[in-house]
Chains A and B, each alone.
Chain A
Amino acid sequence: MATPLDPHAAIVTHAAGQGAAAEARPNAQGVLLTTADGQPLARALTRSRRRARRQAFLLVLPLLAFVLITFVVPIGQMLQRSAKNPGFSDNMPQVSAWFDENPRGAVPDEAAFAALAADMAAAAEARTVGIVGTRINYELPGTRSLFTSTGRKVARGIEPPHREALLEMDPRWADEELWTAMRNASTPYTSSFYLAALDRTRDSAGDVARVPENRQVYVMLFQRTLWLSLLITGLTFVLGFPVAHLLATLPMRRSNLLMILVLLPFWTSLLVRTTAWIVLLQQQGVVNDALVWLGLIGEQGRLQMIYNQTGTIIAMTHILLPFMILPLYSVMRTINPSYVRAARSLGATSWTAFRRIYFPQTLPGLGAGALLVFILAVGYYITPALVGGSSGQLISNMIAMHMTETLNWSMAAALAALLLAGVLILYWLYDRLVGIDNLKLG
Chain B
Amino acid sequence: MALPTYATPLERAWHWAYLAICTAIFVFLIAPILVIIPLSFNAEPYFTFTDRMLALDPDGYSMRWYDSLLTFGMTRPDAPRDAAWWADVWANAKWVNAAKNSLIIGLFSTILATVLGTLAALGLARPEMPFRRAIMAVLISPMIVPIIITATGMFFFYSNPCEALTWIGLSPQCGRLAGTYLGVILAHATLGIPFVIITVTATLVGFDQSLSRAAASLGANPRTTFFRIIMPLILPGIISGALFAFVTSFDEVVAVLFIAGPDQQTIPRQMWNGIREQISPAILAVATLLVIFSITLLTTVELLRRRGERLRGVTPR
Chain A contact residues, CB within 8 Å of chain B: 1-2, 9, 49, 52-53, 55-60, 62-64, 66-68, 70-78, 81, 239, 242-243, 246, 249-250, 252, 258, 260-265, 267-280, 282, 284-286, 289, 318, 321-322, 350, 375, 378-382, 386, 396, 399-400, 403, 409, 412-413, 416, 419-420, 423-424, 427, 431, 436-437, 439-442
Contact = CB atoms under 8 A, between A and B. Distances in A.
Contacts of B291: 268, 272
Contacts of A49: 128
7 contacts: A1-B222, A64-B138, A67-B141, A77-B164, A246-B22, A318-B28, A420-B145
A258 B283 CA distance: 28
B253 A382 contact: yes
Residue of A70, A321, A382 with most chain B CB atoms under a 10 A cut-off: A70
Interface stretch (B45-53, B59-67, B70-78, B93-101): B45-53
Interface in B130-151: 130, 133, 135-142, 144-150
B272 interface: yes
A282 B120 contact: no
B123 A60 contact: yes
Given A242-B25, A269-B250, A431-B133, A264 B33 contact: yes
A268 B33 contact: yes
B195 interface: yes
Q: Is the interface of A mostly helix, strand, loop or mixed?
A: helix
A419 B25 CA distance: 32
Contacts of B47: 278-279, 282, 284-286
B265 interface: no
A419 B138 contact: no
B316 A269 contact: no
A405 B136 CA distance: 36
Given A399-B152, A427-B144, A67 B128 contact: no
A73 B157 contact: yes
Contacts of B158: 74
B5 interface: no
A431 B143 CA distance: 14
A396 B116 CA distance: 30
Given A271-B251, A282-B47, A285-B48, A59 B119 contact: yes
Contacts of B155: 403
Contacts of B268: 269, 271
Contact of A267 (B26, B144, B164, B247): B247
A59 B156 CA distance: 29
A63 B117 contact: yes
B33 to A, nearest CB: 6
A60 B201 CA distance: 12
Contacts of A56: 123-124, 126, 128-130
Contact of A440 (B14, B202, B213): B202
A399 B148 contact: yes
A275 B271 contact: yes
Contact of A243 (B22, B145, B284, B316): B22
B236 to A, nearest CB: 13
A375 B145 CA distance: 8
Interface string B187-224: 10110010100110110000000001100110000100
B160 to A, nearest CB: 10
B123 A58 contact: yes
A267 B179 CA distance: 28
Contacts of B244: 441
Given A63-B119, A427-B141, A441 B198 contact: yes
Interface of B: 1, 11, 14, 18-19, 21-22, 25-26, 28-33, 35-36, 39, 46-49, 116-117, 119-120, 122-124, 126, 128-130, 133, 135-142, 144-150, 152-158, 163-164, 186-187, 189-190, 193, 195, 198-199, 201-202, 212-213, 216-217, 222, 225, 240, 244, 247, 250-251, 253-254, 258, 268, 271-272, 275-276, 279, 283-284, 287, 290-291, 294-295, 297-298, 301-302, 305, 316-317
Contact of A284 (B48, B193, B287): B48
Nearest to A277: B32
B144 A416 contact: no
B317 A252 contact: yes
The 3 lowest CB-CB distance pairs between A and B, nearest first, are A379-B146, A59-B123, A74-B157
Contact of B251 (A76, A270, A396, A420): A270
B290 A436 contact: no
A64 B139 CA distance: 7
Contacts of B135: 60, 64
A311 to B, nearest CB: 12
A280 B116 contact: no
A70 B187 contact: yes
A381 B152 contact: no
A264 B136 CA distance: 28
Given A57-B123, A59-B119, A273 B199 contact: no
Contact of A419 (B137, B144, B149, B276): B149
B129 to A, nearest CB: 4
A318 B29 contact: yes
Given A58-B123, A318-B32, A284 B46 contact: yes
A270 B33 CA distance: 11
Contact of B1 (A249, A282, A441): A249
B199 A441 contact: yes
Given A264-B33, A441-B244, A78 B156 contact: yes
A49 B150 CA distance: 37
Contact of B152 (A284, A412, A441): A412
A267 B130 contact: no
A80 to B, nearest CB: 9
Given A271-B251, A427-B137, A441-B244, A62 B119 contact: yes
A52 B122 CA distance: 13
Given A279-B39, A379-B149, A442 B301 contact: yes
A153 to B, nearest CB: 35
